[in-house]
Amino acid sequence: MGGELEITDHCTYVLDRHGEIHYLLGWSPEEVRWDAARGVIVFRNPLYRDPPGVVVELHDGQQYVFGGGIFGLPDDAAFGDAWTVPPDPSCSAPFGWGVDEVEPQE
């Protein structure tokens, strides 16, 4: 899925390519960190990618393609207790997207 990254004080979203749907992004803690000094997300793509382990810096307002898939939000009973760290209660979106790889969109 591709679209524009939105970084807020507590949440990260992607607005789809059609500008219609916000997805709340979920990240693997082993692959992502927040660089507060620079205001960027630093994501390490998985080792199975070619080339493996490429680090991508994600900036608010930029376009990216996110690999992964839709997941239920914390209030979705079907999702259960699978959150490593649940999102801030102020985060709201109709869908969640579990990120497993990132590529800048040109």
Tell whether the model's pLDDT for residue 18 goes beyond 50: yes
Contacts of 38 (CB under 8 A, 6+ apart): 57
What pLDDT, in 10s, does the model give residues 59-98?
999 999 999 888 776 555 444 445 556 678 888 888 888 8
When divided into structural domains, the chain yields a total of 1
Check residue 86 and report its DSSP letter: P
66 and 97 Cβ atoms separated by less than 8 Å: yes
- Entry pTM: 0.82
Range of the domain at 94: 2-104
